Chains A and B, each alone.
Chain A
Amino acid sequence: MRRPTTILATTVARLILPFLLLFSLDLLLAGHNRPGGGFIAGVMLVAAIALQYVVFGVAQVRRRLPRGSLGLTATGLALALGSGIPGLLRGEGFLKSWVIHWSLPLLGEVEWATAFIFDLGIFLLVAGVGLTLLALIGEDRP
């Protein structure tokens, strides 16, 4: 069945998808000390996929999207929990975060906080839950 979509919508949806995904990634990387974070990055990712659902329809998106987004939630939660354990074991408190400075070629001095692992976990969790919700709502059962 062909969905009554305009060429305008399909073109725009296809064009902005990479930018939305990049924006989501940027929010994730900015997370620990600038506006952003795992939660909002996950929501942005799900919103980008939701746009594809709206424009191209459930069947087509599902053909391209890998199944099993519920596994993402377990992985994400495990990462978030795991990120807190080192602080607990070292006696500095659960979820204690450290900032590490790396010198990388081309980029020079790069600051990296271990809180990123927590953010990454939340990102996967939110993305997994959001994609599962979209898939379930889109299923259109009676």
Chain B
Amino acid sequence: MNWVPAPILLSLATAILCSGLIRWRRAQVWVSLLGSLATTAAAGRLLLLVWEAGPQVHVMGGWSPPFGIVLVADLLSGSLVALASVVACLSLLYSTGYLEEREARAGFHPLFHFLLMGIHGAFLTGDVFNLFVFFEVLLLASYSLVAYGGTGAQLEATLKYATLNLVGSAVFLLAVGALYGLAGTLNMAHLPARLAAAESPAIVLAILLLFVAVFGTKAAAFPFHFWLPDAHSSAPTPISAMLSGVLIKVGAYAILRLGGLVFASVQALAQPVLLGMAAVTMVVGALGALAQRDVKRLLAYSSISQMGYILLGVGLFTPGGLRGALLLILNHALGKALLFLAAGHAVHAAGTRDMQAMGGLRALLPGTSAAFLVGVLAIAGVPPLPGFFAKLAILQALLAAGHPVLAALAAAMALATLLYLFRAWQWIFWGTTQKEATHAVPIGMRAPVAVLALLLALVTASLGPVSAWLTEVAAQVRSPEAYVGRVLGGEVGSPGAQGGGPAR
């Protein structure tokens, strides 16, 4: 039994079961929760296996690489799959409380698990065309989930989101076609050697830039970011947490995977473009967030800004920069999911998303107020939370690579982050009570927020081991020989061999 496809298949199986149970709401919720727990357990098992025995390969249908499609789990994809499934579990738990009081509509749970299947698939696939397919799976599910509820604002947001991402997908397909035309293979382990031997690096660079534009769209990088504030703010709150916490990271992962592995030969040439995009993204997101009064829009703009930081670290591609980017991905996935879910309590209680109309909610929601503060400290990068060390690592890496202007910009934007997030906390939870809030927050919505705050505290307490782990991940990303060897090496050439060694 090979564990690599397990997260994908368990998500798919849960989605199928949920759509079969679409008339029985209670049973559907239980199956959905249990399925997501099983997926998390499988992801944990897979990560452990990768840690003990190195990258794991699954040869689909027995067609050996580079001809068949492979699924590959290395430390990077394994960690991200585990992180995504934990955030998904908690968002799903939140949704049971969130959806209870709203009009019960069919389709939420199946779509949620199809989304999860797409995310896991995009992380685990070792084939560029397969990456396209899984991106389509996750995008299609996310279009429907953003529009879930069917209000006018949601449909408008979905229209923007879907239109821009359909254009992005078309460019994606063109880039895949160009890549195949040039290299004659789409296997991620087979491509680096073929591309390094290409006659003209200019064409390879052009294809890489196409991919950067495509994944920049998915990761909300400037100038392709403008769909995000609408989509992430009008989606149902648990979906906002998934979109901001996990989904945009898939874009960053794809840039990292393609830049670090497939296009390693021209990666340095694309660096100025990526760093420029990242810096502008960081500034545009922070300035946008400063101007918001709607709490969910503020958090959405903040996500754009944080993606800028992540892409800075990814673009640098130095050990320090990568470690910072990876720590920031972890920090932002937990922290932003926490902020969205906690903001959902406030919106639920006050019945409005306008922060200046809330005020004084600390009396009614003391726990939420404390959890929101933890999220604020994490995202704003206040020591000792991991956000601080992530941003510090990125700053140091920028200085070491000779980009003092970018470093100054990053430091300034960290201050802006602190300003808008603290102001939001103050507006929502302090001051005089402007509105008599009567809505109690159900336990299903409270538990995930508490768990996320605890997880952040746990990461903070064990920052040493986490940092060592991420250093190892960054080292594996920078030297993909093990990845290539496991996929193309003799031991996996014959069908059935799994490359797992003793772990089988």
In the complex the two chains form, is B16's CB within 8 Å of A88's CB?
Answer: no
Decide if B185 is an interface residue (CB 8 Å cutoff): no
In the complex the two chains form, is A93's CB within 8 Å of B60's CB?
Answer: yes
In the complex the two chains form, is A93's CB within 8 Å of B22's CB?
Answer: no
The proximity string for B residues 99-127 relative to A, scoring 1 for CB distances below 8 Å and 0 otherwise, is: 00000000000000000000000000000
Decide if A134 is an interface residue (CB 8 Å cutoff): no
The proximity string for A residues 107-141 relative to B, scoring 1 for CB distances below 8 Å and 0 otherwise, is: 00000000000000000000000000000000000
A70 to chain B, nearest CB (A): 7
- Who on chain B is nearest to A98 by CB? B62
Decide if A87 is an interface residue (CB 8 Å cutoff): yes
In the complex the two chains form, is A74's CB within 8 Å of B19's CB?
Answer: yes
In chain B, positions 28-60 with a C-beta closer than 8 Å to chain A are 58-60
Which of A74, A89, A96 contacts B1 (CB under 8 A)?
A: A89
In the complex the two chains form, is A91's CB within 8 Å of B20's CB?
Answer: no
Knowing A70-B22, A92-B496, the reply to whether A78 touches B61 (Cβ < 8 A) is no
Knowing A77-B16, A81-B12, the reply to whether A92 touches B5 (Cβ < 8 A) is no
In the complex the two chains form, is B61's CB within 8 Å of A96's CB?
Answer: yes
The chain A residues found within 8 Å of chain B, CB to CB, are 70-71, 73-75, 77-78, 81, 84, 87-89, 91-97
Decide if B169 is an interface residue (CB 8 Å cutoff): no
Decide if B13 is an interface residue (CB 8 Å cutoff): yes
- Who on chain B is nearest to A85 by CB? B9
A73 to chain B, nearest CB (A): 7
In the complex the two chains form, is A93's CB within 8 Å of B495's CB?
Answer: yes
* A contact residues around B62 at 8 Å (CB): 87, 92-93, 96
In the complex the two chains form, is B20's CB within 8 Å of A74's CB?
Answer: yes
B379 to chain A, nearest CB (A): 38
In the complex the two chains form, is B496's CB within 8 Å of A93's CB?
Answer: yes
Which of B9, B22, B58 contacts A81 (CB under 8 A)?
A: B9
B201 to chain A, nearest CB (A): 36
* A contact residues around B460 at 8 Å (CB): none
In the complex the two chains form, is A93's CB within 8 Å of B59's CB?
Answer: yes
In the complex the two chains form, is A94's CB within 8 Å of B20's CB?
Answer: no
Which of A73, A74, A91, A97 contacts B61 (CB under 8 A)?
A: A97
Decide if B2 is an interface residue (CB 8 Å cutoff): yes
- Who on chain B is nearest to A96 by CB? B62
Knowing A93-B58, A93-B62, the reply to whether A78 touches B16 (Cβ < 8 A) is yes
The 5 closest A-B pairs by CB, nearest first: A74-B20, A93-B62, A95-B61, A96-B62, A74-B19
- What 11 additional pairs, Cβ within 8 angstroms, besides A75-B20, A77-B12? A70-B22, A74-B16, A77-B15, A78-B16, A81-B12, A81-B16, A91-B2, A91-B498, A93-B58, A94-B58, A96-B495
CA distance A15 to B15 in the complex (A): 40
B271 to chain A, nearest CB (A): 37
Of A84, A87, A88, A89, most buried by chain B (CB within 10 Å of CB) is A88
* B contact residues around A81 at 8 Å (CB): 9, 12-13, 16
- Who on chain A is nearest to B70 by CB? A93
CA distance A86 to B317 in the complex (A): 41
In the complex the two chains form, is A78's CB within 8 Å of B5's CB?
Answer: no
CA distance A133 to B16 in the complex (A): 19
In the complex the two chains form, is B13's CB within 8 Å of A88's CB?
Answer: no
In chain B, positions 253-305 with a C-beta closer than 8 Å to chain A are none
A142 to chain B, nearest CB (A): 15
* B contact residues around A70 at 8 Å (CB): 19, 22
CA distance A89 to B498 in the complex (A): 13
- What would 30 A/B residue contacts be, using CB atoms closer than 8 Å? A70-B22, A71-B20, A73-B19, A74-B16, A75-B20, A77-B12, A77-B15, A78-B20, A81-B9, A81-B13, A81-B16, A84-B9, A88-B1, A88-B2, A88-B9, A91-B2, A91-B498, A91-B504, A92-B495, A92-B496, A93-B61, A93-B63, A93-B496, A94-B5, A94-B9, A94-B58, A94-B61, A95-B61, A96-B61, A97-B61
CA distance A84 to B63 in the complex (A): 14
A61 to chain B, nearest CB (A): 24
Which of B5, B12, B20, B22 contacts A88 (CB under 8 A)?
A: B5
* B contact residues around A88 at 8 Å (CB): 1-2, 5, 9
* A contact residues around B5 at 8 Å (CB): 88, 94
* B contact residues around A92 at 8 Å (CB): 62, 495-496
- Who on chain A is nearest to B61 by CB? A95
